[in-house]
Amino acid sequence: MSYDKSVADHYLHGSLLNAIENALPALGKTIETVTIEDLAAVDEFHVGGRIATDNLFRQLNFSKPSYLLDVGCGLGGAARYVASEYQHLVAGIDLTPEYIETGNTLCHWLNLDSHVSLVEGSALSMPYADNSFDGGYMLHVGMNIDDKVSLFAEIYRVLKPRAVFGVYDIMRQKDGELTYPVPWATDSRTSKLATPRNYTEALEQAGFDISHENNRRDFSLDFFKKMREKAESKQGLPPLGLHILMQQSAANKIGNMLENIKNGLIAPVEIIALKP
Tally of structural domains, the chain: 1
**What percent of the chain clears pLDDT 90, i.e. is strictly above it?**
92
Is the pLDDT score of 100 beyond 80? Answer: yes
pLDDT at position 235 is 67
pLDDT at position 88 is 96
Residue 74 one-letter amino acid: G
Helix (H) or strand (E) holding 80: helix 77-86
Compute the distance between CA of residue 88 and CA of residue 137 in angstroms, rounded to an integer.
13
Q: pLDDT by residue (tens digit) across 2-17?
A: 999 999 999 999 999 9
In 3D space, the residue among 205, 187, 208, 37 whose CA is nearest the CA of residue 138 turns out to be: 208
Stretch 49-75: mean pLDDT: 95
Q: pLDDT by residue (tens digit) across 123-182?
A: 999 999 999 999 999 999 999 999 999 999 999 999 999 999 999 999 999 999 999 999
In 3D space, the residue among 186, 179, 102, 177 whose CA is nearest the CA of residue 144 turns out to be: 186
Residue 176 one-letter amino acid: G
Please, what is the average pLDDT of the chain?
95
165: domain CATH number? 3.40.50.150
207 contact partners, CB below 8 Å, separation of at least 6: 153, 156, 275, 276
Is the pLDDT score of 272 beyond 80? Answer: yes
Q: Tell me the residue length of the chain.
A: 276
CA distances from residue 244 to 240, 265, 267 in whole angstroms, order as listed? 7, 27, 24
**What percent of the chain clears pLDDT 70, i.e. is strictly above it?**
100
Compute the distance between CA of residue 173 and CA of residue 179 in angstroms, rounded to an integer.
15
Residue 263 one-letter amino acid: N
pLDDT at position 231 is 75
Q: How many CB atoms lie within 10 A of CB 276?
A: 9
- Structural domain including 228 reads 3-274
